[in-house]
Structure 1
């Protein structure tokens, strides 16, 4: 039963020297992840042999879960987001330097730059077929690009469509549902908007948050959307019906949301802990907290990503460390 499962800390990934802003795991479960950071770089991590790390008998601190084998540099400001192509060959990043970059992970080189946003890029995403790219920024716009780096459409802003957001667009995602090709965006104007991918027209405006929206996530089947931010509540939306289903109280500002790929769980990174909700019972099944809170500065999770098989939760923190949590039955490190 899912409700009887739990997560335990399996190890850490250390290599960034500033906040980890995003983590991307490949959909074929290959043994690597890519992370972005406010240290202006991305790291590619080799996690080929995490079992060796888990076997560590150290009681003082969790073991190293993997090693960084390539650092991707080129952005001139904080790197705010990173996603992977479905074949795992390319990473796409967005930065406060106003640009997106497409990286060839085999060489570590930038193969394409996407220039067009007037301010910091806050979120990027690949379509399921990798043929389209969407980005969101502090210029209040959403841009749709092809993989050649050509902007095909701009939603919002002075030159864009009239239904655009009136605040920073903090997060944007493609729905994985092939029968309903849509984009979902969250904004500092407190709204979540659903867009038709075919013509970039607004389908639904979802309202209900009492503060800015930091994060949106779409369920693996594309039927649900979760949103969260300043007001400390996660709202669950039916994307097909365009209506709110229910609220989940996180109790603190939400920085990241992600659905488990194979369990009916929703995870929220808050300034207090990582909350794992069982969506069947709508109860918090676990509160995950780091192994130490000795630092004078507040330590909290800012980014989340599940492995494709749902066994491993990667969590990036303000201290530059990625903490790796394992679902019971997959091996873990008791703290």
Structure 2
């Protein structure tokens, strides 16, 4: 059984998690990567300003989307897999029809490429709301209606730029993190600040929420991964292991795996419940900027500054 495997096989063993595809096509570093809800498509956003759609199982390039004039910093896919949202270094949020690859709408996020190192975006589980970072200088979060592109609200509170978002499976909590070393939890319905999680000693670069909505995981500049109780805000566990900043964290849809990607070019896979390290995946020659696990929890995809995307077989 999977749970038995995870509990007993806790020593690094790269042989059982192998790279099955290395995807090349971006002409600059790859900033973000996602897998469609049906598990068929892999979507990547690059510093070259393009979005690329790939077949997850074969690594075949399906199409490239162009429209951003600077790097694509963040991407999100709607639950029905019909809409792709991208945040770019050109200060725009773009909405695309995922099946056709056509641009539907462009939203102006409100800042220029001069302060657009990060441009996270997220879509609520009901597919109605898009969250985007507004500006490094204004340090705000903008909420948009996905169907109309209407600006609904602006959330204020962070004292530094926002690096990433996560939304709870029930759609009630929006989590945001940033260079101010905090994670802020917002009530997405009332737009009120619910809690501030403090514990990292540097900027926080990535957060993820478990499928059961109980756990939040964060990784950041201090090389630490922190595991929190989402509802109480209590710090449950701190994990170390990366030798430089933790740029990306992801939780598998079955709630078993925790994957992290670092500036040290490594990917580390752990058992979420215990924090025990299971595997170290090597092969990238640059910073790992994003990691994602397939809906069936069988594959992991990683995006790197080395201009490649790697697809790893986690289990058979």
TM-score normalized by structure 2? 0.90
Task: Check conservation: 2:210, 2:255, Cα contact below 8 A.
Answer: no
User: Post-superposition shift, 1:222?
Assistant: 1.3
1:135-154 matches, within 5 Å, as 135-137=132-134, 138-139=136-137, 140-147=139-146, 148-154=148-154
User: Post-superposition shift, 1:241?
Assistant: 1.0
Give the direction of change, closer, same or farther, for the CA distance of 1:187–1:67 in structure 2 (3 Å limit). same
CA distance in 2, matches of 1:263, 1:173: 15
Name 1:321's counterpart in structure 2: 308
Equivalent of 1:274, from 264, 267, 273? 267
CA distance in 1, matches of 2:98, 2:294: 18
Instruction: Determine which structure has more spread, i.e. the larger CA radius of gyration.
Output: 1
Superposition RMSD in Å: 1.6
Equivalent of 1:83, from 52, 64, 76? 76
CA distance in 2, matches of 1:263, 1:245: 16
Q: Tell whether 2:296 aligns with 1:304.
A: no
What residue ranges of structure 2 are gaps of 5+ in the alignment? 11-15
DSSP-derived class of the 2:119 partner = strand
Equivalent of 2:253, from 244, 251, 261? 261
Task: Check conservation: 1:18, 1:320, Cα contact below 8 A.
Answer: yes
Q: Tell whether 2:109 aligns with 1:122.
A: no
Name 2:221's counterpart in structure 1: 230
CA distance in 2, matches of 1:280, 1:92: 32
DSSP-derived class of the 1:166 partner = coil
Name 1:35's counterpart in structure 2: 44
CA distance in 2, matches of 1:193, 1:24: 23
Name 1:93's counterpart in structure 2: 86
Name 2:59's counterpart in structure 1: 66
Q: Deviations over 1:240-288 (max 9, x none)?
A: 1121111011332011110011142211101221111112332211111
Name 1:23's counterpart in structure 2: 33
1:208-223 matches, within 5 Å, as 208-223=199-214
CA distance in 2, matches of 1:101, 1:123: 12
Q: Which 4+ residue blocks in structure 1 deviate beyond 6 angstroms?
A: none
Give the direction of change, closer, same or farther, for the CA distance of 1:27–1:2 in structure 2 (3 Å limit). farther
Q: Deviations over 1:156-197 (max 9, x none)?
A: 2xxxxxxx100001111211125xx01000010000010011
Name 1:2's counterpart in structure 2: 5
Task: Check conservation: 1:23, 1:83, Cα contact below 8 A.
Answer: no
CA distance in 2, matches of 1:263, 1:239: 15
Q: Deviations over 1:40-85 (max 9, x none)?
A: 01001124xx4xxxxxxxxxxxxxx422121111111110011111
Q: Tell whether 2:24 aligns with 1:14.
A: yes
What residue ranges of structure 1 are gaps of 5+ in the alignment? 51-64, 157-163, 294-298, 330-335
